[in-house]
Chain A
Amino acid sequence: MTNGRTTVLGAVRRSLGRSDADSDAAMAAAKARIAAHPRGLLPERSRCDPIAQLDLFQAQVEAVDATVVRLSALAEVPQAVADYLKSHNLPGDLRMAPAAELQALPWTTAAPMLTVTTGKAEPQDVSSLTAAFAGIAETGTLMLHSGPEGPTTLNFLPENHIVVLKSSQVVGAYEEAWERLREARADEGLPRTVNLVTGPSRTGDIEQTIQLGAHGPKRLHILLIEDAG
């Protein structure tokens, strides 16, 4: 492939009218911008206090046909999951992300009617539970990422996707979520997959009418844990 690379880069440089010195200057400019990765203009709506931010997040999530319930502690999650599945007449089988925080919850005592298994999604799984990395208020967007505790398929294969998000994880703008991810990952770089999810799957491909549940989940339900005081 060295050939293809030389041809493409050569053609780009010719069109840009580059000398060798110009190429070096371009490389320096590109490296400087990447190192600084400056933020641009952030929408005013994302600049608000944490309480208003949570309200904005919830309003935006609901505007895209997803649902939110607020809980005061993580320990309430099993009951909330059971309630949700029951309210939609869904079976009590739950495929859960192998996240330590979720596995440590009192499933057998708080929600004995549920059958909870962990791992990546299998075709027969109807409902999944995953943990978000961040919530982004400006558009009601969840940031989820892959890793040993987060199989990506859980976000897409099951028809019902339930997500645990803590209020301390909610930020105003996308850029703030990226900054947190950079800090959390230190030198590891990005995970294989980062999903920004805004509402359940939909399509407008039939006569421009919006239908939910095209290929991904038909329902997206967020359990928002108010842990920030």
Chain B
Amino acid sequence: MQATSRSFKDNAHQALNDEQLRRALDNMKEGFIAKRAKAAAKLPEFDALRDQARDIKDHTLENLDAYLELYAEKVESVGGTVHWCPTADDARKAVVDICQAVGAKTVTKGKSMIAEELALNEHLEANGLIPIETDLGEYIIQLRNEPPSHIIAPAIHLNKEQVASDFRAAHVDLPADRQLEEPQQLVGEARAVLRQKYLDADVGITGANFLIAETGTSIIVTNEGNGDLTQSLPKVHIVVASIEKIVPSLEDASAILRVLARSATGQEFSTYTTFSTGPKRSDDPDGPEQYHVILLDNGRSRMLGSEFQDMLRCIRCGACMNHCPVYHSVGGHAYGWVYPGPMGAVLTPSLIGVDEAGHLPNASTFCGRCEAVCPMRIPLPKMMRHWREQEFQKHLSPTAVRLGLGAWTFVARRPSLYHFTTGLKARVLSMIAGKRGRLAKVPLASGWTSHRDLPAPEGRTFMDLWAKQRRTAQRPGQETV
């Protein structure tokens, strides 16, 4: 998809004025946050399991070249094919070649963020293939021709009335007077419509939550069962996965799975966790005849060994965005590319460039909730700071910001000047604010004051108060307040 991360500020502004989006996002604060907290509280080992998950991924990333080789050997030893794809173009071409080689017409798809990253649907359509999303949320946004707004709940920005109207527009063969008020009716209709698509499809494409080096296995985790129908009914199963999905063994995958669903939806375990190893065996009654893995780099190898390596531990649970006050305010589309929220603010500049996505790491209050809930203990705020530094070094920040920071640096390096100017500023602002204690307008701060008042300082700086307290404390017999 065409990134619109450059216009984050406009996107965010529009989102903030969208009443319907506000209601949809409010819903999520109650849902995901409370459910995750409950699931974490029910498992006393949860935090220790997070440490362990982090360590498993760190070990794997440190030895990623070896694990990739071992994984690929194993896939090929059970009759699968690995397509090593350095770039998104390579991956798109590999998928289309496989589809064309079997004369495919329709392609069903399980939910895959890598497929979103590749803009695979557009590419399949451009090559005469018909892609059909089967995850309910993905199906809805495909009908609306929209990108997902959340990595595990792609249609979280919509309400049921919007979905009903999309279904009426798309499913014109069904009776016009049918009832579509209740979620169950919408789910039932999607189930019936998609059922035939699974059976008609020539190729099924899924993503992968993990790849296991020990066995050459790909894992998908779903609640709907759509991924399983997608990969068991057609003749060909294509897995699109990026290189950092590797884990060493079945035990390591199981250990990380223990923190995935709990962090994502607050379930103890997702409904379906499916381990796929190669194509159907000669005596299997069902399953695909071909099994292909598209192994995508697309910028990830560059992150290894850099200050962004920790981001490669991410298991795409969505906990960071579920807990992010900025995401809660603007939703996922404002971020302008595939990955929203704090993980997107770190990953997007890595994959499409900080010149393209520099706004995203700035869209954070550094409140730290994302890092506090991340099951893989990724230091997201620290990495956003790295991007801000790079943005500054590359002269990408606006002139006003650069001049302001330059002036601040000059003053901050001179302690007496710093104390003098901050003391002066505090007294002046306090004087202007008067008894009200708030300022409606401040020069150079319209970004703040056009939306709300600025609370004024009370007149004395911390350093003043500290010095005064020290003086008082040195006089015995006097109260030290």
Contact = CB atoms under 8 A, between A and B. Distances in A.
Interface string B180-209: 000110111011001100010000000000
Nearest to B31: A208
Given A23-B66, A190-B217, A12 B243 contact: yes
A43 B249 contact: no
A13 B442 CA distance: 53
B68 interface: yes
B275 A5 contact: no
Interface string B411-424: 00000000000000
Contact of B83 (A1, A13, A23, A98): A1
A18 B267 CA distance: 40
Interface of A: 1, 4-5, 7-9, 11-18, 23, 26-27, 29-31, 33-34, 37-41, 43-45, 60, 63-64, 98, 119-121, 123, 138-139, 141, 146-148, 151-153, 155-157, 173-175, 178, 189-209, 211, 213-217
B295 interface: yes
22 contacts: A4-B84, A4-B85, A15-B303, A16-B305, A33-B59, A37-B248, A43-B258, A120-B286, A123-B199, A139-B268, A153-B233, A156-B225, A156-B228, A174-B258, A192-B278, A194-B277, A203-B223, A208-B27, A214-B224, A215-B134, A215-B226, A216-B226
A41 B195 CA distance: 40
Contact of B213 (A13, A23, A30, A152): A30
Sorting the interface of chain B by its residue count into under 10, 10 to 19, 20 to 34 or 35 or more gives 35 or more
B136 interface: yes
A202 B271 contact: yes
Interface of B: 24, 27-28, 31-32, 43-45, 48-49, 52, 56, 59, 62-70, 72, 78, 82-86, 90, 134-137, 140, 153-156, 159-160, 163, 183-184, 186-188, 190-191, 194-195, 199, 213-215, 217, 223-226, 228-229, 232-233, 243, 248-252, 254-255, 257-258, 265, 267-281, 283-287, 295, 297, 301-306
Which of B160, B184, B255, B284: most chain A Cβ within 10 A? B284
A76 B248 CA distance: 42
Contacts of B195: 123, 215
Contacts, number: 282
CB-based closest 5 A-B pairs:
A216-B225, A4-B84, A214-B224, A11-B301, A15-B304
B224 A1 contact: no
A207 B183 contact: yes
Which of B56, B68, B191, B280: most chain A Cβ within 10 A? B191
A155 to B, nearest CB: 7
Nearest to A207: B160
A190 B217 CA distance: 8
Contacts of A18: 65
B66 A26 contact: yes
A208 B84 contact: no
Contacts of B233: 153
Contacts of A8: 68, 84-86, 243, 295, 297, 301
